Structures are given as C-alpha cells and as structure tokens.
Amino acid sequence: MSKLTGVVPPVCTPLTEAGEVDVASYRRLLDHLIDGGVDGLFVLGSSSEVVYLTNDQRRLVLETAVEHVAARVPILTGVIDTTTPRVLEHVRVADELGVDGIVATAPFYTRTHPVEIDRHFRLIKEASSTPLWAYDIPACVQSKLGRDLVLSLAADGVLAGVKDSSGDDASLRYLVLEARGDGRFDDFSIFTGSELLVDTALWFGVDGVVPGLGNVDPVGYVNLYRAARSGDWETARREQERLIMLFDFVNVGSRSRPMGGNSSAIGAFKAGLALQGVIDNGRTADPQVQLNESELETIGGYLQRAGLAVPVA
C-alpha cells in the first residue's frame, strides 16, 4: 500500500437490540462511508466501541469489513488491548483476515513507561508484517506518545503511521515539522483524530483525518479534505464550521442526564446514523446509557441544521 492519506473514519459498530453485531446494518454503514468518498476505513477503533466488543464480536466485525469492503478502500484495524501479549492475539486475527494496517495504543491499566511503550511497538512489529500504526490517545491510556518516541519508531521502520487523538495540536505540529523534508519519514502517515480542527491540521501539514463524526457525515469531511487539498481553504473552513456545530450533538445526552461521555458521544453518532436510515438502531453496548426519545429528537434537530437529510418516519 502506498502512503495513506485523506479521510479514514473510525467506523461505528451497529448493534442489535440484544447487543450483538448487526451485520446487515454494518454493511450498509460501510457502503455509506465508501459512497461518501472516504479514502480508507478504520475499524475496531475507539468509536467502534472496540473495548465493549468480545473477541468473537471483534472478529465478526473485521471479517464483515474485509469481505464487504472487498478492497474498495484500505482497511486499518484496531488491535486494542491492555498489553503486548493480548494485543498480539488481535494481531493474529487481523493478519489472518488480511488488512492494510493495524493500529495499537500504548499499554494501559498498568503503570508503564516510554521504554516499555517503545518495546511494545517493536514486539508487535516483529510479530506481523502488516503496517503498524501508533494510536496516541492519552485520555484512554494515560500515556502521551512523545514525538521523539514516535519519530524514532518511524525511522526504524516500526511505525507506518500515527493517529493523534491527544488533542495536543502543538505537539502534533512539531511532529509534522520534524518529519517534513526528512527522507526517512516520506512514507510515514500522520493523521489527526480531531473532528473540529481538521482544516487547521491539514493546513499545518497532517496527511489525513480519522473523524468519528465522519460516520454521520462522510461527505462533509471528504469535501473539507478535497477543498483543503485543492487550496480552497475558505470552503474547507466553512465545511469545518458546519461540522463543528453538528458535533456539539455529542453533548446532548450528558447535558440532559447523568451518563458517561462515551454513552453520550457514541450514542449521538449512532443516533445520527439511525435517524438517517443507515443503521437499524442506535443502541450502544453495555453498560452504557441509551439515549431517550427526547434526546434523539434534539439530535435530529442538529442533523437538520447541518443539512443532513433525515427521512420522515
């Protein structure tokens, strides 16, 4: 695979009322994203509720994606688990099914250290020839991947890319600047996980974006990306601002009732997909709180104001 760039949404995982993977809905979601023009798909990322899925469910998700996408776009998959031995189990499944990249975080739950994080990625790389991406998500794993660590792993051929969901764009920008113009990093992909600062991240030099909100509005992010790449920054900004106002729907649940941020945010993404008719229902996995009718109605208002067609019930 040549260097990946562009819009690579972290695909949500539709569930049945019983909490099982809704394969039919999932296939429709994959088509919805590919039809929207995305450049790749990131399955089993945080937005997929990967940490809420059993190993069997993860395999089913990945099998479905590989089969249904049928190489129309590249697939990255999360191999997210607490430490190396558990991650390697997911790597084996990914290698067996065949993907274009695997994406791992630093170890979590345990007290780790940069020297161990470095070793973690190197051990994963030794076990698989699939391109390996680092997923920098300190809000979930409590460790920030330092730019020296990332660049050293990239220079040694361990990492093919990084997805930066740290929210620290100053750090991300240093990474971009240090990689630029250094031949060792020509094939190294730097992606932002931000939904809200995509035009600016593209402006300062990232290669692509992994926007959770891209599930709900893939066309928006694709338009944003293409406008930016063509130098039409005004259009990119206008599209970004529209998406920012939409993104605020992630707070509908948590503003209305006690619930966790994931229930509220992933609940909004899935509600946005269900309200557009892409997936059958917006259920999130246990033990998350389900959005209620009133909250779904509020979310519907956000979709309409963002110009997304919501079929009449």
List residues near a copy of itself by CB under 8 A. 19, 46, 51-55, 57, 80, 82-86, 88-89, 107-117, 119-120, 123, 139-142, 167-170, 173-174, 177, 194, 196-197, 199-200, 203-204, 233, 237, 241, 244-245, 248, 258-263, 285-289
CB closer to a copy of itself out of 100 and 195: 195
Extract the tokens encoding 149: 């660590």
Instruction: Report helix angle 55-69 to 23-35, nearest 10.
Output: 40
- The nearer residue to a copy of itself, 47 or 130, going by C-beta atoms, is 47
Residue closer to a copy of itself by CB (options 32, 270) is: 270
Beta strands in 79-218 (DSSP E): 101-104, 132-136, 161-164, 189-192, 208-209
CA–CA separation, 269 and 214 (whole Å): 9
Q: Helices (H), strands (E): how many in the chain?
A: 13, 8
Q: Which is nearer to a copy of itself, 37 or 127 (CB)?
A: 127
Comparison of 13 and 278: residue with beta carbon closer to a copy of itself? 13
What is the spatial distance between Cα 58 and Cα 96, in angstroms, rounded to a whole number?
13
Which of 236, 231, 208, 238 has the alpha carbon at shortest distance from 307? 238
* DSSP 8-class letter at 213: G
Residue 168 exposed, middle or buried by CB count within 10 Å (0-12, 13-18, 19+): middle
308/216 Cα distance (integer angstroms): 9
Q: What's the min distance (Å) between Cβ of 2 and a copy of itself?
A: 26
- Least separation in angstroms between CB 243 and a copy of itself: 11
Nearer to a copy of itself, 4 or 246 (CB): 246
